[in-house]
Chain A
């Protein structure tokens, strides 16, 4: 299994689209810092926006706020929507399915590789953001949304926790991308379909009349990390995200697995 997973990662590393998403995740916080160096003012009306020049720790939170809505879903979809469909397109699925590995093992390795990529791009954004911004504005204490001050290291812990809890709904997006990639066998359809799914989940959340189901929509979980910015931490959205996203991860993965296990590999 480790070997199959390793090759899935190596295949990702050999493809341009991998670097497109990873590069974007690293470039956005850099551009953000550079723009704020040369321009006064800032994103005052978003969480931690006012603290942007007080500590380098605020930048990754603010960038996450912007990227959480569609940039990260898009980056996630780029890889997860392609990871099975590209093999169908290249005809390599039949190559790897006629070796000594069962279909379940191949599928599991692809799931793990797609999740690894999702976690990696989110972590890369956080790391580049905190390093670049700290060089300019220092690694100082952070003022939480409740107005209390937390130490820089505590703030770093909150950033790690925020990125981790944000990665969980992104795993839901990746799972849906894998499902579409398996079912459609077409990379473009799977990527676009996954992005539309992410946007639909957020759109449903702002429509009137959806209040009762809103807490259970995937889009709502994109903001669960805001709970960590309060003192003491508000665990309600975090805990809800944990179990709601388990559903959004589990169902498409299971459906994709069943399709992958039984599908005919023909004419591809």
Chain B
């Protein structure tokens, strides 16, 4: 009888991660599973606990409770060995400002056991920084540092990349280039965990997402399933949107968003029909009521602002 095939450890597996700072719970029992080949979007408002979670994944901070494993290894238990095949940065890549871009990469390469100069040239080419490689990093723009951060990560030939807000602070051209770069890396088979609050970027790049709010995961799953779950959405244009919202709420339709004087909400057809009658009785005119598929941004705002 043949035994079951060995289960390959997941690139990222976090179970019950907690980080407490005094009375403040920054991360509250977070579970995450990133599978091989995923481009996984980790979403949340500022201060929701994204960066703290990533720091725990990389072993930079110790969890108060729970454990994180990268390819089956816990960075707190296994130290630097747990980061074999893993690269990335949290809260923006940081370099020695008094060293050139190339020397910074050589230093990082040496910390990984040494890399040939040709490999450094290769990664500099990938991020299009080769012509500025001799300049001190102190003189680099924000975008150049972000790209150098990616170059530093690529030096490790990672199987898993952890990127914390890689496009933050970039101009539109820089953001587009960063998205293209991430697409290329994903196409090369690198699993990517990307924290972001640029939702269009996540919608374009990611196949799976987790949404974190005040330290807790409120959704984890496939992005297309999340968007499909938003079927049954409606768009309402009414003469008095504020009062209309109150009427909808009174009919048990919650999570109503007011966007540019239009109301967006999810409800079943029966509830919508009852609400239109109530709106008419309340003297509120309706100029448009149409089915509407929510964007990730609307879903995200609906989910993260629900309890606020």
Contacts and interface: CB of A to CB of B under 8 A. Distances in A.
Interface of A: 3-4, 6-7, 10-11, 14-15, 90-92, 94-103, 262, 264-267
A11 B96 contact: yes
Nearest to B100: A14
Contact of B111 (A3, A265, A267): A3
Contacts of B227: none
Contacts of B156: 99-100
Nearest to B92: A91
Contacts of B97: 90
Interface stretch (B10-18, B56-64, B262-270): B56-64
Contact of B61 (A92, A102, A266): A266
Contacts of A6: 110
Describe B's contact surface by its main secondary structure: loop
Contacts of B107: 7, 10, 96
Contacts of B62: 262, 264
Interface of B: 52, 55, 58-62, 79-80, 83-84, 87-99, 107-108, 110-114, 152, 156
Given A3-B111, A262-B62, A266-B52, A95 B99 contact: no
A152 B112 CA distance: 49
Given A265-B61, A266-B60, A90 B112 contact: no
A6 to B, nearest CB: 8
Given A3-B110, A7-B107, A102-B79, A95 B89 contact: yes
Nearest to A97: B60
Contact of A98 (B89, B96, B99): B89
B111 A101 contact: yes
Contacts of B84: 100
Contacts, number: 82
Contacts of A92: 94-96
Contacts of B52: 266
11 contacts: A7-B110, A10-B107, A11-B99, A91-B94, A94-B55, A96-B107, A99-B80, A264-B55, A264-B62, A265-B61, A266-B60
A16 to B, nearest CB: 8
Contacts of A95: 89, 93-95, 108, 152
A100 B80 contact: yes
Interface core residue of A10, A103, A262, A266 (most chain B CB under 10 Å): A266
Contacts of A90: 94, 96-97
Given A7-B107, A262-B62, A100 B83 contact: yes
Given A94-B60, A100-B84, 12 more contacts: A4-B111, A90-B96, A92-B95, A94-B89, A95-B93, A95-B152, A98-B60, A98-B87, A99-B111, A103-B79, A265-B61, A267-B91
A235 B27 CA distance: 59
- A-B pairs, 8 with minimum CB distance: A91-B94, A99-B111, A264-B61, A265-B60, A102-B79, A3-B110, A100-B112, A14-B98
Given A95-B89, A95-B93, A95-B108, A101 B98 contact: no
A99 B98 contact: no
Contact of B60 (A3, A15, A264): A264
